[in-house]
């Protein structure tokens, strides 16, 4: 790269670590800062503390060349032209984002500013955070001419975050000065000019030299709202299709056919029209609540967001009721639970519907044998130790002698199980699929009682259909 930028990224979580490694992959000089010394030591040794495709190989490629890790924030800020803030913004008691970590970092940055810096919000923050960052810097005596604050939200999906970063649908830069916008344009030039995609070792994806990444420059306020509005709209699509699924199931329609028919409309599209247990993870629940809170503070009645949240919570209750209806009683039952992460291809269990369902089943007296390809270690730190909860080495060990198998996470391997082997392992061939990974007719033909979301249940031959139970 002929014009690399010196970048400091503060925070080595999902967003910060992916951004650091990808900026290095684009040719920039990156220092990633974290106050967790043990985590920094792991990264300095080449260890990757999160489960994310392509991250280990890119870190190995650029460690101590394009990217370094440190606990020394002041030194990293001093030698950088752009400082990206990628610390946590957890949900507070009121639903608002807790910006205390952002404020603490900005106060530290202020003490290290000795020349012009572009301070970039990479964390998900509410509108007007850019102004508050500016105020904090002013209060610490930083001259207005020494900095600009820019909003540059991330649109990463856990499990595909590296590819999402290097092959984005769009790059949004909210800058209120041309000087700051120019710095961000230089940073993203390898993607927006297409030069990155011509490199022999470039990771493949949707973008190319002929079709490079698109850059949208807005005001900082518009950029901040774009992030929250985008996540809220995706959560809305998920809750909408789940509400339709409940209607479809009540009239013996098939939500998979309905979603396919809707998704073929170019105005709607097929993405996020997958009925299931609802959304989870570190973004959607928090961002829907935060966006609702922001609207309330501005006097805007955005009740639609409250309905999105309610539908999502209800979906877990509906699935729990399916398990209870299929088994009559839960006390003393042994259940196999496939999946603990909030979705496949990640070890993230934050706000995972699977975790909530496992907890509720344990409280109801069932015992659980759980398996997740990546999330079991994190789950063990969250789920209370219990003689009724064990962890299996694979799906078939989890299913051994179980009264029923529950599919709670959409890992690809769960969609390709050996059904003959699974049938033999289970005490009773009952599968309750919260992710619609199989076709009801196929499962019935394989001898299973199969219950899914938004589709008529398929029962073994000569087995009567149990009466539906109401929500508890």
Q: Catalytic residue positions?
A: 283
Tokens of 342: 């909030």
The contacts found for 423-426 with CB under 8 angstroms, 24 or more apart, are 423/447, 423/448, 425/396, 425/399, 425/400, 425/401, 426/336, 426/399, 426/400, 426/401, 426/402
Gap between the terminal Cα atoms of the chain: 61
Which residues neighbour 425 within 8 Å (Cβ) at sequence distance 6 or greater?
A: 396, 399, 400, 401, 402
DSSP state of 65: T
| 260 three-state secondary structure | helix
Output the CA angle 52-53-57, nearest 5 degrees: 105
**Dist. CA 335–CA 402, nearest whole Å:** 5
Q: Helices marked H in 364-406 — which ranges?
A: 376-380, 395-399
Cα separation of 100 and 91, whole Å? Answer: 11
Residue carrying structure tokens 């001093």: 78
| Strands of the sheet with 404-407, listed across from one edge | 389-391, 367-371, 334-338, 404-407, 430-433, 449-451
What count of Cα atoms within 13 Å lies in the side-chain half-sphere of residue 113?
25
Strand bridging mode 215-218 / 171-175 = parallel
């Amino acid at each position: 790269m002929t014009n690399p930028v010196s970048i400091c990224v503060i925070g080595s979580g999902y967003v910060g670590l992916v951004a650091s490694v990808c900026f290095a992959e684009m040719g920039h000089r990156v220092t990633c800062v974290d106050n967790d010394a043990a985590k920094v030591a792991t990264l300095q040794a080449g260890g990757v503390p999160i489960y994310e495709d392509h991250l280990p190989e890119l870190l190995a490629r650029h460690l101590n060349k394009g990217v370094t890790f440190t606990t020394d924030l002041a030194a990293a800020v001093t030698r950088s032209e752009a400082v990206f803030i990628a610390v946590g913004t957890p949900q507070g008691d009121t639903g608002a984002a807790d910006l205390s970590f952002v404020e603490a970092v900005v106060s530290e940055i202020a003490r290290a500013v000795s020349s012009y810096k572009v301070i970039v919000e990479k964390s998900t923050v509410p509108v007007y955070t850019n102004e508050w960052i500016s105020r904090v810097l002013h209060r610490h005596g930083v001259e207005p001419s020494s900095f600009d604050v820019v909003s540059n939200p991330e649109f990463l999906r856990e499990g595909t975050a590296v590819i999402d970063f290097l092959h984005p649908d769009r790059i949004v830069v909210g800058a209120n000065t041309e000087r700051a916008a120019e710095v961000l344009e230089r940073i993203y030039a390898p993607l927006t000019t297409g030069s990155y995609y011509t490199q022999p070792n470039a990771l493949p994806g949707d973008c190319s030299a002929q079709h490079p990444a698109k850059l949208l420059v807005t005001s900082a306020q518009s950029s901040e709202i774009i992030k929250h509005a985008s996540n809220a709209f995706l959560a809305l699509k998920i809750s909408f299709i789940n509400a339709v699924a409940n209607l479809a199931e009540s009239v013996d329609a098939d939500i998979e056919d309905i979603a396919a028919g809707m998704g073929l409309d170019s105005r709607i599209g097929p993405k996020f029209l997958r009925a299931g247990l609802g959304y989870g993870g570190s973004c959607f629940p928090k961002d829907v609540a935060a966006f609702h809170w922001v609207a309330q503070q501005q006097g805007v009645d955005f009740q639609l967001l409250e309905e999105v949240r309610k539908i999502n919570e209800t979906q877990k209750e509906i699935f729990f009721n399916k398990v209870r209806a299929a088994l009559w009683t839960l006390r003393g039952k042994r259940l196999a639970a496939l999946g603990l992460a909030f979705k496949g291809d990640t070890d993230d269990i934050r706000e995972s519907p699977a975790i909530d369902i496992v907890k509720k089943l344990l409280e109801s007296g069932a015992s659980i044998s759980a398996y997740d390809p990546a999330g079991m270690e994190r789950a063990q730190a969250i789920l209370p130790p219990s003689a009724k909860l064990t962890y299996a080495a694979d799906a078939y060990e989890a299913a051994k002698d179980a009264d029923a198998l529950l599919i709670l996470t959409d890992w690809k391997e769960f969609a390709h199980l050996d059904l003959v082997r699974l049938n033999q392992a289970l005490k009773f061939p009952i599968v309750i699929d919260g992710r619609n990974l199989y076709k009801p007719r196929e499962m019935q033909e394989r001898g299973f009682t199969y219950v899914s979301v938004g589709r008529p249940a398929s029962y073994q031959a000569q087995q009567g259909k149990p009466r539906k139970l109401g929500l508890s």
